[in-house]
Amino acid sequence: MTGNRGFFAGRTIADLGRDLSAGLLSAADLVDHALDSITSLDRAFNAFVTVGADAARLAARQADAERAAGVHRGPLHGIPVAVKDIIDTAGMATRMGSAHFDGHIPGQDAACVRRLRDAGAIIVGKTTTHEFAYGPTGDRSRNGPSRNPHDPARMTGGSSGGSAAAVAAGMVPLAVGTDTGGSVRIPAALCGVVGFKPAHGAVPVDGVFPLASSLDHVGVLAGTAEDCGLAFGVLAGEARVPSPGDTVSPRVGWLATDSMALGDPAVGDLVRAAFPDSEEVALTGVAELYQTYAAIQGSEAYAVHADRVARSPQLFDPEVLERLHLAGAIPGWRYVRAVEARESFRRRAAALLDRYDLLALPTVAVVAPPVGARVLDIGGAQVPVRDALLSFTSPWNLAGLPALSVPVGTAGGLPVGAQLICRTGREETLFAYADRLRAALAGPRG
């Protein structure tokens, strides 16, 4: 981590909640800390596109007044939160990272934002997104690339890059993102925070600009898995499948993929070593799964943007436009076959989760590449950056299963994340295991 870190670095939502309850801190204090941290740090990282200082201060005073009056809205009451800029916030600019939405101010909150506010959380600002969330690199946005707090010359990953940088730099304790192929987990891994993509449909996407509806998920980024769990509880509301509680010694299956060659061996080895007691299981066909993902994502994304591409192509980032043109040319029959292949993978994944409580694999096959990089040299092979970023995360968007990235160390000074998958309803085991893993790895090293 370069330079200073913000107030929230190393402070969990659970800790902050205790301090708020004890009167050691107020929501107004927390909002001031967030705004001060953003002011001092964000020039380097470009995590925020919009900061709503006045509205946040007002909401903080209301939260404090409620608490003083004995009203307690739960674990997010008084907690500052950053929200990705493709998620509608009433009265606060929401630009989708695109010139198409310059000056756009939604009249209504997205459903997930409404749930956060109802739980007493305070929206402090909107975070940089790859344009229309259409890219895992996080470096093509109307407001410029977000930058990795571990090295601002490196990409955050994306598309929820600003949300990851905001949490990693300690500017906020919690940020909301979206994840269509890995857009929460990838930047979480590259920036060294925890990122959680819930099961498909567990959190409503109303008011979230679509990338590819059948793959879109709202997710969260925080310093710990426990904090992700607190936020997930609020975001999922009553739709949350009751969890039977933590399984203290879960059976972990290590997914040995047939495309591990894609990645940096130092990353693969580091993540593998974090699961010494896991049983190895083969996950074959990763390259085909990625093609399946690309056919579905591309066709659905172009369906969203076709009219915009026809009407005002010049308003798109050129790379995003080029990718949209390719997406628009995917034949329908390939989409149909991809949907069939997705069904078949769902059955495979469900069968694996009959045998294991958790599945483990790297989140991303490489550490954060330089901002703007599009090809990586890995052992002499030229690997497209997007493929290297998405290969291990996108299968779990196809499967629609809960998936979490947790930091497990660094390679060459840059964060590396392990990815854990569970069955819907087993999130408690996932969260608790991830935090025990982090503590165990941090123990001897840090």
Which chain residues interact with its own copies by CB under 8 A?
Answer: 295, 298-300, 302-303, 306, 327-337, 340
What is the nearest approach in angstroms of its own copies to the Cβ of residue 214? 9
341 or 403, CB closer to its own copies? 341
Structure-token pair, residue 347: 């059955």
68 or 336, CB closer to its own copies? 336
Spatial separation of the C-alpha atoms in residues 349 and 352, rounded to whole Å: 5
Residue 411 main-chain phi, psi, to 5 deg: -125, 120
What is the nearest approach in angstroms of its own copies to the Cβ of residue 291? 13
* Residues 6 or more apart whose Cβ sits within 8 Å of residue 139: 130, 145, 146, 155, 156, 158, 161, 371, 372
Residue type, 193: V
Q: Are 163 and 148 in contact (CB under 8 A)?
A: no
Q: Which of 26, 37, 84, 278 is catalytic?
A: 84
Give the DSSP per-residue string, 393-441.
Answer: THHHHHHT--EEEEEEEEETTEEEEEEEE--TT-HHHHHHHHHHHHHHH
Per the annotation, the verdict on 197 as an active-site residue is: no
At CB < 8 A and 24+ separation, what contacts does 324-333 make? 324/134, 326/298, 327/297, 327/298, 327/299, 327/301, 327/302, 328/298, 328/302, 330/294, 330/295, 330/298, 330/299, 330/302, 332/299
Q: Which of 183, 259, 299, 391 is catalytic?
A: 183
What is the nearest approach in angstroms of its own copies to the Cβ of residue 337? 5
> Do you find a cis peptide bond into 21, omega within 30 degrees of 0?
no
Rounded to the nearest 5 degrees, what angle is found at the Cα of 387, between the Cα atoms of 177 and 301?
Answer: 55
Buried b or exposed e, range 35-60, using 16+ CB within 10 angstroms: bebbeebbeebbbbbbbbeebbbebb
10 or 332, CB closer to its own copies? 332
What is the nearest approach in angstroms of its own copies to the Cβ of residue 319? 19
Structure-token pair, residue 377: 């040299």
Give the DSSP per-residue string, 180-242.
Answer: SSSTTHHHHHHHTSEEEE--TTSS--TTB--S-TTT-EEEEEESSHHHHHHHHHHHHGGGSPP
Residue 132 to residues 124, 151, 373: CA-CA distances in angstroms? 21, 25, 20
Q: Which of 98, 159, 278, 405 is catalytic?
A: 159
Structure-token pair, residue 15: 């800790």
The DSSP call for residue 161 is: H
Per the annotation, the verdict on 126 as an active-site residue is: no
What is the nearest approach in angstroms of its own copies to the Cβ of residue 300? 5
What is the nearest approach in angstroms of its own copies to the Cβ of residue 323? 13
What is the nearest approach in angstroms of its own copies to the Cβ of residue 391? 21
What is the nearest approach in angstroms of its own copies to the Cβ of residue 271? 34
Per the annotation, the verdict on 159 as an active-site residue is: yes
Q: Give me the count of residues in the chain.
A: 446
- Cβ burial of 297 (10 Å; 0-12, 13-18, 19+) is buried
299 or 394, CB closer to its own copies? 299
What pairs with residue 174 in β-bridges? Answer: 81, 222
* Residues 6 or more apart whose Cβ sits within 8 Å of residue 318: none
249 or 312, CB closer to its own copies? 312
1 or 303, CB closer to its own copies? 303
54 or 333, CB closer to its own copies? 333
4 or 344, CB closer to its own copies? 344
96 or 341, CB closer to its own copies? 341
What is the nearest approach in angstroms of its own copies to the Cβ of residue 321? 15
* Active-site residue set: 84, 159, 183
